[in-house]
Amino acid sequence: MSKVYYVPWRQDSDMVGKFRKIIRKSNILDNINKEDRVAIKLHVGEYKNPAHVHPLYLKELVSALLEIGCEPFLTDTTTYYCGNRFTAVGMIKNAFYHGFSLANIGSPFIVADGLGGDEGFSVKVSSPLNEIYVPSLFKEVDKMIVFSHCKGHGLTAFGGSIKNVAMGCVTKKSKLQMHKFVNFCYDESLCNGCDACKDACGRGIPILKNGKRVMSLEKREDCMHCPACMEECKTGAIKLKELEALGRVLPRAVEGIFKVIGKENVTSINWGANIVEYCDCMPFPGKTLRDNVGIYLSKDIVAIDKAFLDDANKNTFMIDGRPDPEIQTIEGEKIGIGTMDYEKIIL
Ligand code: SF4
Ligand code: SF4
């Protein structure tokens, strides 16, 4: 059974102060040694979307790490789709705009996957993913703290610690590889020819023929399964199929990262606040799905996501036909990256 430390959210309480205390009262930093290189993996969020972890919580974590005498730094990887986080330069600017800077937090932000976002090496993982590409930076870290904002997600229903590591600690090549497990179906009878999908797609793939959407045959191979077109389609003409595929694949990517860093060297923090409809990678948060739940800390990446989903109610995330978010934890337990059996310790 794994321990999950928890601080319930209270709007009339100093949550940053409580977070400061829980870091020191729990055992989550007790494996970190003086002079360790500690990567803090966060999602810096898409420019202008305010729904990401608040920098004040990162600042508290960094000061606790600096007290130990180790060398913490913030990190994230560039996106596989075009946008302002596609290159390292864009990512650093984005991190700065959202408050994740040395001046604000007390430790620098370093892009993990190189200047072009394609630096990495191959790691074998279990089927059906089989292989991922991990940035070399992760070979050089001693410990990693995964700091995740808990929110909804258009493809996997929920994004927590498993999603943060799986999609956020690999190169562009593996991000695309994982997204290709998701497929779409198209119902022509529901298409009103509004063109929104075409406008949303940076690759010019949806075209209109006789007032209806079709996928351009010449460009279909370029589709990144992102799925901006589906999210812009308000008639339901574009829908996901094989809904659970990506959720099954994510824990396999975590398996690969753990092979590089060592499962015992990874600690997770789930920030269960500002729980919105869309992932931090979208330029807008969408609707609020529920009130803030609290902050979770654990050395078990499966247990922490399971504990949050139990408290938040997984049905909260199963909107608009989105899949069961617990697939991530069930599959994670199956391949041995953690356990769903946890003891919740309220601090
Ligand atoms: S999923 Fe849609 S928006 Fe994304 S690349 Fe493919 S056609 Fe374009
Ligand atoms: S956004 Fe939907 S309704 Fe509009 S053209 Fe595309 S598929 Fe058709």
**Is 233's C-beta closer than 6 angstroms to any atom of ligand 2?**
yes
The whole-number pLDDT of residue 21 equals: 92
Q: Mean pLDDT, to the nearest integer, of 235-259?
A: 91
Instruction: Say what the pLDDT of residue 227 is.
Output: 77
For residue 197 and ligand 2, the question of a CB distance below 6 A is answered with yes
Tell me which range, 176-190, 212-226, 326-340, is most confidently predicted by mean pLDDT: 326-340
Q: Please state the rounded mean pLDDT for residues 272-285.
A: 88
Predicted local distance difference test score (pLDDT) of residue 107: 95
Candidate from 94-98, 225-229, 318-322 with smallest mean pLDDT: 225-229
Side-chain-side CA neighbours of residue 32 (13 Å): 29
The answer to whether the beta carbons of residues 330 and 303 sit under 8 Å apart is no
Predicted pLDDT of residue 120: 94
Does residue 290 register a pLDDT over 70? yes
Q: Averaged over 270-299, what is the pLDDT?
A: 91
Confidence of residue 95 (pLDDT cuts 50, 70, 90): very high
pLDDT, mean of residues 5-19:
94
In residues, how long is the chain?
A: 347
Dihedral pair phi/psi, residue 295, rounded to 5°:
-120, 135
**Arithmetic mean of pLDDT, 303-324:** 94
* 219 confidence band (pLDDT: 50, 70, 90): low
Cα 159 to ligand 2 centre (Å): 27
Q: Please work out whether the CB of residue 235 comes within 6 Å of at least one atom of ligand 2.
A: yes
User: Residue 216 pLDDT more than 80?
Assistant: no
What is residue 212's three-state secondary structure? strand
Q: What does the pLDDT average to over 256-266?
A: 97
Residue of 233, 239, 240 to test ligand 2 pocket, by largest number of atoms within 8 Å of CB: 233
More reliable by pLDDT, 61 or 220? 61
Percentage of the chain modeled with pLDDT above 90: 66
> If you measure from the C-alpha of residue 162 to the centroid of ligand 2, how many angstroms do you get, rounded to a whole number?
32
pLDDT at residue number 256: 97
- What spacing in Å lies between the alpha carbon of 227 and ligand 2's midpoint? 13
What per-residue confidence (pLDDT) applies to 217?
55
Is the CB of 237 inside a 6 Å radius of any atom of ligand 2? Answer: yes
Angle between the N-to-C axes of helices 161-168 and 301-312, in degrees from 0 to 180, rounded to the nearest 10: 130
The alpha-carbon radius of gyration of the chain (Å, integer) is 20
Q: Would you state the pLDDT for residue 342?
A: 97
Residue 288: pLDDT band by 50, 70, 90 thresholds? very high
pTM, two decimals, is: 0.91
The chain-wide mean pLDDT, for the chain, equals 91
Which of ligand 1's atoms lies nearest the C-alpha of 222? 5
Most informative mutation of 186, 201, 212, 238 for ligand 2 (most atoms within 8 A of CB): 238
Q: Provide the sign of the torsion angle of the four alpha carbons 257, 313, 178, 223, taken in this order.
A: negative
Tell me how far the alpha carbon of residue 213 lies from the centroid of ligand 2, in angstroms: 6
Q: Ligand 2 centroid vs 240 CA: distance in angstroms?
A: 14
The protein residue with its alpha carbon nearest to ligand 2, atom 4, reads 194
- Residue 238 has what pLDDT? 86
- Quick one: which ligand is closest to 207's CA? 2
What's residue 218's pLDDT? 58
Mean pLDDT of 222-250: 85
Ligand nearest to the CA of 154: 1
Residue 185: per-residue pLDDT: 81
Q: How far is the CA of 25 from the centre of ligand 1 (A)?
A: 46
The predicted structure's pLDDT at residue 81 = 78
Measure 209 CA to ligand 1 centroid, in angstroms: 17
Distance 208 CA to ligand 1 centre (A): 14
Nearest CA to ligand 1 atom 2: 229
Cβ atoms 260, 193 nearer than 8 A: no
Task: Report the percentage of the chain scoring pLDDT > 70.
Answer: 98
What is the enclosing helix (H) or strand (E) of 17? helix 15-25
**Average pLDDT of the residues in 254-280:** 95
279 neighbors 152 (Cβ within 8 angstroms)? yes
- Give the C-alpha distances (Å, rounded to integers) separating 36 from 62, 138, 141, 222: 13, 13, 8, 41
Each domain of the chain, given as residue ranges in start order, spans 2-177+244-346, 183-241
Residues with Cβ within 8 Å of 251's Cβ and at least 6 positions away in sequence, in order, are 162, 166, 302, 328, 331, 332, 334, 335, 337
Residues with Cβ within 6 A of ligand 1? 200-201, 203, 205-206, 223-229
**Reported CATH class of domain 183-241:** alpha beta
What are the residues whose beta carbons fall under 8 Å from the beta carbon of 162, sequence distance 6 or more? 250, 251, 254, 301, 302, 305, 328, 329, 332, 337
How high is the pLDDT of residue 250? 97
Q: What is the pLDDT of residue 49?
A: 87
Choice from 184, 185, 187, 194 to test ligand 2 binding pocket (greatest atom count within 8 A of CB)? 194
Q: H or E element: which one contains 76?
A: strand 71-76
What pLDDT shows up at residue 55? 95
30 pLDDT tier (thresholds 50, 70, 90): very high
For ligand 2, atom 8: residue with the closest CA: 191
2-177+244-346 has CATH 3.40.50.2300 classification = no
Query: Which pLDDT belongs to residue 121?
Result: 96
Mean pLDDT across 27-48: 93
